[in-house]
């Protein structure tokens, strides 16, 4: 059974620091991995999607990497800002025997606080 874990559960850093969020998954049979951002009481916003054949994706100050063989992904945030404060969730799309139409399995999230 696929399980997704994010450590740490919470992280507090001073503004300007570069930081790394971690995501691990137990089964390497995945189509892709996504990173989402969630502001308090809000829905999710997709940040980056890495297909299983890719190693990394970049968008602005964000860089996500994927190592399928070790079951790990990292989200690197450069020069963090107070506006980056939010919960970051990763999710994998598992390869399943029966068609389960785009099912995602989520980690618990890392709550990031960037202090001015």
Partner 1 sequence: DGGITQSPKYLFRKEGQNVTLSCEQNLNHDAMYWYRQDPGQGLRLIYYSQIVNDFQKGDIAEGYSVSREKKESFPLTVTSAQKNPTAFYLCASSIAGVSTDTQYFGPGTRLTVL
Q: Which residue carries 């994010």 as its tokens? A: 6
Using CB under 8 A as the binding rule, whether residue 31 contacts partner 1 is answered as yes
DSSP result, the chain: ---EEEE-SEEEEETT--EEEEEEES---EEEEEEEEE-TTS-EEEEEEEETT-SEEEETTEEEEEETTTTEEEEEESS--GGG-EEEEEEEEE--SS--TT--EE---EEEEEE-
Residue range at the interface with partner 1 (CB under 8 A); choices 14-22, 62-70, 76-84, 101-109: 101-109
Out of 57, 73, 80, 93, the residue judged to bind partner 1 by CB under 8 A:
93
> 105-106 and 19-25: which strand pairing?
unpaired
Using CB under 8 A as the binding rule, whether residue 108 contacts partner 1 is answered as yes
Nearer to partner 1, 84 or 88 (CB): 88
Nearer to partner 1, 69 or 99 (CB): 99
Using CB under 8 A as the binding rule, whether residue 19 contacts partner 1 is answered as no
Nearer to partner 1, 15 or 39 (CB): 39
Using CB under 8 A as the binding rule, whether residue 59 contacts partner 1 is answered as no
Per CB under 8 A, residues contacting partner 1 are: 4, 9, 31-32, 34, 36, 41-46, 49, 51, 89, 91, 93-95, 100-109
């Amino acid at each position: 059974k696929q399980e997704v874990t994010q450590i740490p559960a919470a992280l507090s850093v001073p503004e300007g620091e570069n930081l790394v969020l971690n995501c691990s998954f137990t089964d390497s049979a995945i189509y892709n991995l996504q990173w989402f951002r969630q502001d308090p009481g809000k829905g999710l916003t997709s940040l980056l999607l890495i297909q299983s054949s890719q190693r990394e994706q970049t968008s602005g100050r964000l860089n996500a990497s994927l190592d399928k063989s070790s079951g790990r992904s990292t989200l690197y945030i450069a020069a963090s800002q107070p506006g980056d404060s939010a919960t970051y969730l990763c999710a994998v799309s598992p390869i399943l025997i029966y068609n389960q139409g785009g099912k995602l399995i989520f980690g618990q999230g890392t709550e990031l606080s960037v202090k001015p």
